[in-house]
Amino acid sequence: MNTITTTIIDIGRDFSRYPAGRYETDGPFSGELFRAKFLVPVLDSNGHVTIELDETAGYGSSFLEEAFGGLVRLGYSSTQIKNTITLHSEDPSLLEEIEEYILDAEQG
Partner 1 sequence: MLKNSCSIIPKRSDVINWKIAFGELTDATKVGEILEAESRLPQTKAKKLYRGVSEAMTNVSQHAYMDLRNDGAEIIGDKGWWMFCREEENHISVAFCDLGVGIPITLPKTIEENHEENMFKSILCKLFTDKKKYSDGELIRAAIEVKRSRTQKRHRGKGLLDMIKAIDTTQGGRLVILSNKGGYLYNLNNSNPSEDVKNYKDSIFGTLILWSLPVSRNTEVKL
Contacting positions for partner 1 (CB under 8 A): 16-23, 25-30, 57-63, 65-66, 69-70, 73, 100-101, 104-105, 107-108
Nearer to partner 1, 48 or 97 (CB): 97
Choice between 49 and 64, CB closer to partner 1: 64
Cα separation, 26 vs 24, in Å, equals 5
Beta carbons within 8 Å of 50's beta carbon, 6+ residues apart: 6, 7, 8, 9, 85, 86, 87, 88
Min dist CB 56 to partner 1, Å, is: 8
